[in-house]
Amino acid sequence: MAQGYGAARSPFVVVSLLVLLSACVAARTPSNLARTTATEAGTPLMAAAASGDLERVRGLAESGHPLNALTERGTPLMAAVRAGRDRVAWYLLTQGADPDLASANGETPLMAASAAGRLRLVQLLLSAGADVNARDRAGYTPVVRAAEQGQVSVVKTLVSAGANVNVQPGGESLLMKIVGQGDLLMAEMLLAAGADVHFRAADGGTALQRARALGYPDLDMLLIQAGARD
């Protein structure tokens, strides 16, 4: 009987311990990880992050300054990314900064890093779980930002992380945008990653038509070889 009673108590004991452990974990969750809205002037972490002053960033974070404060210029993490402050960005992410908290126009830190060609920051943000296919208010994604700026290494990294190359910001495909810029290497990369060579914009235009209209014979040939038709 005693053995049976002990066995019956076990599930209760386990559940009680789990509840207690959850409460302890919750109690240890830093209050400065909550999402808040603030002004840049009232967020000293913004200037510290942008300047790359890791010790000041650490001191402010440890004293309770919000890591996920969203200002008119984004978050402290965004400030670090825009300024190319790798060590500060790494510290903020390890302390719980949200890698996907976007600025007013929907721009995420990964988009900013991608457009600027900051490969190490791109890799860091991706390893922290940043959304590789996040969209801003105009429909732009990190890979669109990188491709338009000719950031080959960044595009490769984003594609490897699962970036969708068949996005249509503004109603035209990324491939069409790149063809319009005359970027043969980037077009080759997008096609290798599965870009739709047959996509038609709302006006019926295709990447092949754009290449011909702009006088890009190498791109014309590339698209034909990829299966494009008149």
Q: pLDDT digits over 200-219, tens only?
A: 998 999 999 999 999 999 99
What range defines the domain where residue 229 resides?
A: 169-230
**30-59, pLDDT tens digit by residue?**
667 777 777 877 889 999 999 999 999 999
**Cβ–Cβ under 8 Å, residues 177 and 215:** no
**Cβ–Cβ under 8 Å, residues 63 and 30:** no
Global pTM? 0.84
Residue 208 falls inside a structural domain:
yes
**157-195, pLDDT tens digit by residue?**
999 999 999 999 999 999 999 999 999 999 999 999 999
- CATH classification of the domain holding 64: 1.25.40.20
Q: What are the residues facing 27 on neighbouring strands?
A: none
Q: How many domains does the chain have?
A: 3
**75-91, pLDDT tens digit by residue?**
999 999 999 999 999 99
Residue 201 falls inside a structural domain:
yes
Q: Are residues 89 and 109 in the same domain?
A: no
* Final residue before a domain boundary, out of 49, 77, 98: 98
Q: What are the residues facing 36 on neighbouring strands?
A: 69
Best-predicted range by mean pLDDT (1-10, 67-76, 124-133): 124-133
- State what percent of residues in the chain have pLDDT above 70: 87
* Final residue before a domain boundary, out of 164, 191, 212: 164
Residue 71: strand, helix, or coil: strand
Q: For residues 55 and 52, what is the distance between their CA atoms, to the nearest angstrom? A: 9
Residue 88 falls inside a structural domain:
yes
The DSSP symbol for 69 reads E
Residue 9 falls inside a structural domain:
no
Q: Are residues 127 and 145 in the same domain?
A: yes
* Final residue before a domain boundary, out of 47, 79, 98: 98
Q: For residues 217 and 21, what is the distance between their CA atoms, to the nearest angstrom? A: 66
